Structure 1
């Protein structure tokens, strides 16, 4: 009989740039104030890779190196890496290829995925499928974004929200009852106009006009995204609980995408979880897009115990959204 494998998270890594962009600093750049930003978003500061020579691959590589160190694992042992990013180094040449070279993953193949803020969860499921198939013993999944490269720092509606960073997890085979158990994902392309970078792709290639008209930056209809995020994240979490016959009191932790503290609080309340069960670090990093969930896992790893049930949930451009149910495993020492 063929062995059935689960894919368990057994190591974590993270990286955020050293430069801190505070709300007070933003007050000098756009018409806003710290009190308003905190009350509307929960964000107090964000990290920015302010060196033009630093790319998303550099952020991802630092997170991978941190993971390998914590796992006491050699780079050549990695078999595959999946990188979720909306800010790849290049349009052609995957960021994963660059990270394989920079991190010394000489025996790994790599690929990028892009589902914006939902991207890490989507990539996590792809990586878990490779491990569960039995073909791969270990896969690294990274969420990484240099959002400062696509932010208009004259647009107060978006520049207050986003930061740069990267988080990584190692998925390994296990026959124990831990790891990625189930997910519910949704996609609705009719929502794309509400959160989008209009230029730079094949639909609208970059030109002098697109640059002058600032179409290569993120634009967002905040009210529409806010409402859709609460509904989408709450609904997929509820569906996930129902089909796995899980009571709310059986869930130890909620790890939500860190886009807005009011969204996070609303989702937690809809699910009936206490504030202590909902992990939050948006106040320090802002919205790092695909990196928010793995950075949250990395930040709070010492709080998690083997066997803890947790729900990960996200909402992003596309629209894309969903939730993942996993049972925590012992991390490598």
Structure 2
């Protein structure tokens, strides 16, 4: 059993709204964006004037106003406060990113240093499915092999690899970070009961970011795949509990709102059970789903069930079935996006 003691999130201050994208003169409008992906705005680590001037045609050309490690540290700080534990109690830091700042060392080491955590640090990355990879990995380890508390952190500076002359990806991507504090030894109200993770390596070329290049995906085929696998995985996980499917909170990879609504319609998930933030923050890669969990941290109560499903490059998909067994008293009172 894996227990979640705290969750945190962070989004940078610079906002790319649909009016800003219109101003780039790339053949897009607010109506076009809302109709296709349902996203109103996204946040970026980059300078907005740089994006206007260069469209980020050369990766790394635009100025970064907050780095990946700093974002990760902010999410970790919130998660630790909610968990009520100190940095000294953390025995392991797991990290992942769709846009890692360094090829080496492990970005977990860079993030741990930024957060002043002295612990074993390692990357376990599976693109947008990384949160599920972290939870599945830890859930299947023997408790004796895992430190008392583990921090899993995912900072995404994904806009830095986005081509803002290409409206297909420019309208989607945002930046943000998410973190959770978990334990196999110390009980918490929120626990992960079941995890799953699967890959189809034959299709890896469909979603990729070649080192030093822009993010690329075969949009339509990837979306169809994501819808299919999200539905299949939700059913697989939800059936592990005694509750009907429509009584589960649903959190998924925050790819785009149109896709998520299609999934909810097919699964008959009520609007009040669908938790999302993609409309306000865009597709923040692997940080998307856990940031939704963090933003709704204060609303979960005893008896709640959360089915979280993610799909990403690889192609890889997975998820977890989460339950809340008692009143969640680990919150710091923060329930907002930074």
Map 1:152-191 onto structure 2 (within 5 A).
152-172=163-183, 173-174=185-186, 179-191=191-203
CA distance in 1, matches of 2:142, 2:258: 36
Secondary structure at the aligned position of 1:86 is classed as coil
Shift of 1:171: 0.7
Secondary structure at the aligned position of 1:273 is classed as coil
RMSD over equivalenced CA pairs, Å: 2.0
The two structures have a TM-score, normalised by structure 2, of 0.86
Aligned residue for 1:300? 296
Map 1:259-274 onto structure 2 (within 5 A).
259-274=255-270
Instruction: Kindly tell me the number of residue pairs found equivalent between the two proteins.
Output: 311
Aligned residue for 1:326? 322
Structure 2 residues without counterparts, runs of 5 or longer: 47-62, 332-338
Q: Which moved more, 1:61-70 or 1:32-41?
A: 61-70
Map 1:225-244 onto structure 2 (within 5 A).
225-242=222-239, 244=240
Cα deviations by residue, 1:2-51 (Å, 9 ceiling, x for unpaired): xxxx2211111111000111011011112101111111111100000014
CA contact (8 A) 1:184 1:239 kept: no
1:76 lines up with 2:88 in the alignment: yes
Structure 1 residues without counterparts, runs of 5 or longer: 1-5, 201-205, 207-215
Map 1:1-333 onto structure 2 (within 5 A).
6-29=1-24, 30-50=26-46, 51-52=63-64, 54-106=66-118, 108-130=119-141, 132-133=143-144, 135-172=146-183, 173-174=185-186, 179-197=191-209, 199-200=210-211, 216-242=213-239, 244=240, 246-249=242-245, 251-328=247-324, 330-333=328-331
Change (3 A) 1:118 1:302: same
Q: Which moved more, 1:281-290 or 1:316-325?
A: 316-325
CA contact (8 A) 1:12 1:298 kept: yes
CA contact (8 A) 1:131 1:171 kept: no
CA contact (8 A) 1:130 1:136 kept: no
The two structures have a TM-score, normalised by structure 1, of 0.87
Secondary structure at the aligned position of 1:287 is classed as coil
Change (3 A) 1:225 1:104: same
CA contact (8 A) 2:246 2:269 kept: no
Shift of 1:142: 1.4
Change (3 A) 1:315 1:249: closer
